Chain A
Amino acid sequence: MLLIDKYAYNNKLRDYNPQAKFFLACVGLLVFRIIDNEFLYILNIVFMTGVTVLVAKIPFKKYLDMFKIPFVFLIMSLVTILISINNTDYIYSIHIFGLDLGFTYESLLKCKTLFLAVFSSLSSIYFLMLTTPMIQIIKGLKKIKVPGLIIELMILIYRSIFIFLDEMHNMDLAQRMKFGYENKRNSINSVSLLIGNLFRKILEKNRDMNIALECKLYDGEFKVGD
């Protein structure tokens, strides 16, 4: 069970008009991004966080936790942008191996804007993901005429994530109950078994899914209604 999914179905904004939510997120993601103004970014962050935490009632701590992983990547890329080699107008620099490493005022500014832009986009995306069940997002995408192939991929990937996690969880549990992770040697053995079995199980589930789709008169296009 994905945490995001759980919140998407259990928040106070779930039944709120999905198009409005979609629109709100798009403003942050597209319009503000095009205007590219720091003040708007900050406004968006405050607004989105406020709505997600205070109105939709997503626990604040869980919400913050979700930023951890993207922020690691963000900071790594910001560092590479920030630091330059052998520039002249550094505001801070060090000299090693005959090279000048440092950052300039411009690169610092650029990083600040970029940081805010990413933060703001993330808060918009999280707002949408945490308040809107996947199926509604897909409906929204279909409304704005996103190609059927992409929609289909999204539905299948979403479905597969659950199959995958579920199977993995079940097998892991079964192995634990049979003392599969007692020491290093049988842990390695268990993991390799798990991966092999997971692969087989997923193919099996895929076959079952196709059978079910056929019996439900699926004819090559996912219809999600409006």
Chain B
Amino acid sequence: MLKIKDLCFEYEDGKVALKNINIDGENGNVIGIIGANGTGKSTLFMNIMGILKAKSGSIEFDGKKLTYDKKSLREYRKKVNIVFQNPEQQLFYSDVYDDIAFALRNLNFTEEEIEKRVYDSLDRVNSLDLIKKPIHFLSYGQKKRVSIAGILALDGKILLMDEPTSGLDPEMTKDMKNIINEIKNDRQVIISSHDMDLIYEICDYIYVIKDGEVTAHGKPEDVFIQTKVLTEARLDKPWLIKIYEKFNTPLFKSEEEFINYNK
């Protein structure tokens, strides 16, 4: 379980990117971090991964405070994984199979086990057909899937996803939603996004970030009705909330609920 306490972070140039962030992983299985461009979502994720070192405050995993020596970081990163905003960054090898196998090989799995896991994880993101393709032939959306598969192959406890749907078409976005809904069955997912519809539908709990500070948190249906907080954070409301507010219909949690609703 992840717990972030009073986390502050400052870039070398003096820019204060995070101020007193408190996040409690117990609040939900799928946690959303929402905020406009440049509010510090990626910076927060880099801090959680131990890539950037917090100025003050702490990050706790399973009750143990994160320390930054090589050995404990490695142990920590077996449990806590990240899918970067830019899939190019994630992909290292030239071939989909080898790329997914990369982390597994670093952990000295046997080749049979690796093969099994590569197939499984590609299957989970519905991309088995890509297995033999070279990475540089893939489209952006395909790269996103492959980079997710590369992380699913590890059995982590927590998965951080930085903007999993940015740059995806509506169909792919829907697919990604299903993928996340499936992933959450075996690990906790923390998602950053400015796609409010996605966040509303898949998250159990959300944190609103504005200029490096958490300005509101709670269940999606509670947070998304706070018009003032959202405007201040330069965020929009999910369309399901807008419908609820305008037509006084019940509050739908997903598109299906809305479509199946008969007055």
Residue B102 CB within 8 A of the other chain: yes
Q: Which residues of A98-135 are within 8 A (CB) of B? A: 133-135
Among B87-95, B122-130, B171-179, B180-188, the one that faces the other chain is B87-95
Q: B137-155 CB contact bits vs A (8 Å, 1 = yes)?
A: 1000000000000100000
Q: Give the size of the chain A interface in residues (CB under 8 angstroms).
A: 24
Q: Give Cα A218–Cα B150 distance, bound, in whole angstroms.
A: 14
Interface string of B96-121 (1 = CB under 8 A from A): 00100111011110010010000000
Instruction: Report chain B residues within 8 Å CB of A89.
Output: none
In the complex, which residues 163-200 of chain A have their Cβ closer than 8 Å to any Cβ of chain B? Answer: none
Contact among B51, B98, B107, B150 with A224 in the assembled complex (CB-CB below 8 Å): B98
Q: Which of A159, A212, A217, A225 contacts B101 (CB 8 A)?
A: A225
Measured CB to CB, the closest approach of chain B to A145, in angstroms, equals 18
B98 touches A135 (CB 8 A): yes
> Across the interface, do B89 and A135 meet the contact criterion of CB distance under 8 Å?
no
Which among B46, B90, B95 is the interface contact of A133 at CB below 8 angstroms? B95
Query: Once bound together, how far apart are the Cα atoms of A217 and B109, in whole Å?
Result: 13
- Chain B residue, CB-CB nearest to A217: B106
Chain A residue nearest to B75 in the complex (CB) = A217
**In the complex, B78 has a CB within 8 A of chain A:** yes
A226: which of B84, B90, B107, B111 is its contact (CB, 8 Å)?
A: B111
Interface size class of B (residues with CB under 8 A): 20 to 34
Q: Is A68 an interface residue (CB 8 A)?
A: no
* Option from A9, A135, A219 in Cβ contact (under 8 Å) with B106: A219
The reply to whether B106 and A158 form a contact with Cβ atoms under 8 Å apart is no
Main SS at interface, chain B: helix
Please judge, given known A-B contacts A215-B82, A224-B98, A225-B105, whether A135 and B51 are in contact too, CB under 8 Å. Answer: no
Q: What secondary structure prevails in chain A residues at the interface with B?
A: helix
CB within 8 Å for A215 and B105 given contacts A135-B98, A208-B89, A209-B92: no
Proximity bits, A201-226, B CB within 8 Å = 1, else 0: 00000001101111111110001111
Cβ 8 A contact of B98, one of A216, A217, A225: A225
A209 engages B89 (CB within 8 Å)? yes
Q: A133-B134, A135-B98, A225-B114 are in contact. Are A216 and B74 (CB under 8 A)?
A: no
Determine if B89 and A217 form an interchain contact, defined as CB atoms under 8 angstroms apart. no
Partner of B102, one of A208, A211, A216: A216
For the complex of A and B, list the 10 residue pairs with the smallest distance between their C-beta atoms, beginning with the closest: A223-B105, A216-B103, A217-B106, A9-B134, A208-B89, A135-B95, A212-B89, A217-B103, A211-B51, A135-B94
Of the A-B pairs whose beta carbons lie under 8 Å apart in the complex, a sample of 16, sorted by A's number, is A5-B94, A5-B136, A9-B133, A9-B137, A135-B93, A135-B95, A159-B92, A159-B94, A162-B136, A209-B92, A211-B46, A212-B89, A212-B90, A213-B92, A224-B105, A225-B114
